[in-house]
Structure 1
C-alpha cells in the first residue's frame, strides 16, 4: 500500500501486529473478532466503514496465520484457526475506495464480490483470476471502462454495472455465457456489441438511462429473457426480431422516441408492457391481438387519440394507464374487462364522461361505461358532439352545446396563437366551470380569462408555449384544478397564493430549476405534479407546510440528494422520485413505495 513501510521478507503477520504500517487507519476499523468470524463462516462484511483502501491482510486472510495464534491461548474445537473456511463472500460496499489492489487474486474462492457505492475509476486485471465468481456488483462507482479480464469469468451469473460512466461494452462481453442478470443502466452507452447474441441465458437485462438509438437484431437470441428494460434512451424503432422472444414477461420502453408500438406476435407470456412518454399516435388491433397474458399496459404521455375496441380482448388486464393523451372517447365495452382494477385517464380531453365520475375512481368509471352499453348510446367516431341548431355559422369551431349543457369552454387542438374574441363572447351568461385551451400555440394567457372568475374551477393550458403566468389567472379564486404541463415555465408569480381553493396543479414538462416557493403558501394543495423539469433540490420545510399534500411527483428532475427530513411529511401518500441522479434512497427502496421511502428517510435524520 502507498505510504506503508517495507515489510521483512516472509513476515506474514506484518498486517496484523499493532503499529504495522499497512493501512493503519483502515485496520482500526476492522475488529479482529470480525475477521475471526469470517474465517469460520467464509463471509466478510466490511460495508459502510469509510475505508479508503482495503488493508492487505483482508486479501491475505486465508494465507496468513492470525495474530491470536501467537498469543498464549488455548484453542477450543470452535476456535481452531487452522480449520478456517475460505472466504467466498466479500462485501466492501458504501466505503470511499478509489482503487482495488491486484492482491484480490489471493481470494480465488470468492463467489460474491460487492464493491458498489464507492469511488472506483477502474478495476484491477486480477479480477479475471477470480474464476469461481458468480456475482459481481460494482454499481454506483466512476468506472469509464471494464477490463478485458472481467470477460473471462465464465461462471459469472449476476453483473451489476449501473450508475457508472461507461461509454461502451467490449466485443468480448459475449464471452460471459452464463450471465443470467445484467444491469448496465445509467451509463453513457450508445450501442451494444453484436456478441450480445451469445448471452443466451440472460433472464434480466437492464439497459435503461443510456444513449441507445437502436437495439441489435441479435438481441432476439436471448431466448430465456423474461425482463427487458430500455427506459429513457433514444429508441425510435424496435427490431422486429424482438417479437420472437417467447419468454419475455416484462418489457419497459418508457421515455424513448417511439411512434408506434412493436408487434409482438410470439410474446404470448408478456404480462407488463410499459411504453409511456413516447410519441405513439395509433394503437391498432394488430398491436393487441396476441397479448393474451397482458396484466399491465402503460401508455401515459403519448399522442393517442382513440383506443381500438379490441382492447376489450385483453381479459387479464389489471392496470391500464392512458394519462395525458388526446383521447376524447373510450370504447364502452372497456367496462366489461373482468380483471381491470386501475384505470388512469387524467389529462385526456374526454367528452363523454363527466369529471365527477372520473374523480370517483376506476370502478365507477367502468360501471358508467357498462351502463352506456345497455343504453345503446352512440357518438361519432371522431368523438365530436353533433353540431346542433345552437351552433352559429360564425362560431363553427365553438361548441355552444358544451358551454350551455356541460359548462365547458373547449377551444383545444386549434394550433391557435391567441384565443379569438368570439370564444369568450360565446360564453355569455353561462356559468362555465371547465376551460380547455390545451394543445395550441399560446404564448400568453388571454386577459379575458378573468371574466370567468365567478364560476371556473378547472383550467387546462397544457401543451402550449407559455413562459409566464399572468396576474389575471391569479384572480380566479374558485380554481381547484390547473394544468400547465408541457410549456416553457420557469417560475410562478407570488400572487398565485390567492388561489385559495387550488387542489391540483400540473407543472410537468416545463423548465423549473427550483421548486416554486409560492406553492407552499397555498394550503389547499393536495397534488403537485412537477415531473420532467430541472429541479435540483427540495426544502422539506416547504413541503411540511402543506399539510393537505398527498401526492408529490418530482420524477426525472436533477435532485442530487433527497433530504432525510422529507420523511417527516407523513401526509404524503404518493412521493414519486424515480429518474433523479441521487444515490440514496436506492431503487430497491423506491420500488417498495412511498411508506417505505418515508420510513427510510426518517431513519437517516441526524440525531
Structure 2
C-alpha cells in the first residue's frame, strides 16, 4: 500500500497500481499526476462519497475498487471511463445506480452489500459483462434488458428481495455460476434437528487452516470423549456479514442439508451460540492440495492453475467421475452448488477428490419443474468448463487417446 504523502512528493511517478487507505473524505487530485500510467486504483476503506467528474482523465484505468466507503450513488463519472472493465463498490450505502454510470466495456461489476432496489436498463448494453455480484441488496427484480447480457457467466443475487425466481436468467446462453439463496421466493432453512449441537467450550482451538469470504477454518481438539466425533476436527466459524456469494447462515444450512458423500467434506455437528455460528467438519489430511486457484483479474470467471500442472487422461476421467457423483447427489437434494470450480476442490496425490465451499449454493425444490431443469442446465455449463480446464492440463501423449476425445465430445454435448 502506498501513501498520499508519497504521491504528493512525486515518488510514485509512473505507477500502474495505486492503493490508498487513509480515511480519505475527498478524492486526492494528485492521483491525476498518474494519468498516463495508472491501470489499477484501489480506494477501499476510506470515507469517500463521490468521485470527480473528470475521472476519465485516467485514460488507462482498467480496475477501480471503492469498497468500504460511504457512497450512496454509483458515480456517473464511471460511465465515460472507456478503459474501465472491473468496478468494485462493495460495502457502501448505494441506493441509486444511474443509467449513465456503467461504462460500456465493463466485464466485472461488484455491488455487493449495498441498499440497491432497482437496476438500470442500461445494464443490458454491457455486451462484455461476464461477472455480476449483487448479493446483499434490496433488489426486487432484474431489468428485462439483462436478457441482452449474452456473455454473462457468473451472477450473485442472494440476500435480496426477489419475490419470484428471475426466469429471464434461464435464457442467458453462457450463465454457468448462479447464487440466489435467501430471497423471499426461497427463504427456507431446515431445522437440522438430527445434527448434534455442541458448545464452543468443548473444543481446544488450534491453528488456522484457511479462510475465505464467509469464514475462518481452524483445527480443533475435541476435549470430550464422544464415539460420534473424532478427537481432531476442523471448525468453520462463519462471519456475520453478507459475502459476495450470499449469507453465511445459508451456507451453514446447505452444508448440513447436503449431508454425507464420499467426495464432500463431512459435516459432523454445528455450534450455535449468540456469539458464534460454526460448522464442525471432518479434518482433511494435510496431503490434500487445491486442484486449482481462483480466477484472476484477467481470466475473470475462469480458474487459474499452477504452471507445469498436468494429469494423465485416466486421472482426469477419475476426477470428472467424482464430480459427476457429487453433482448427482446435489440434484437429488435439489441444491445447485453455484460455484463448481477446481479451486473449490481438494485432491489427494492418489486421486481422491473432495468438493467444498457451499457459500454460493442455493436450494431450488420450491421452484416449478421447468425452472429446476433450467438451473440444472446452468450447473452443467459449469461442468463443461471444469472438463475443459482439466483437458487443458492433460499430458501431451494422452491427447490422441479415445478417452480424451470422449471427454471432448461430452463437453460439447453438455454445452
TM-score where L is the length of structure 1: 0.34
Q: Which has the higher contact order (CA 8 A, sep 6+)?
A: 2
Q: Which has the higher strand share?
A: 2
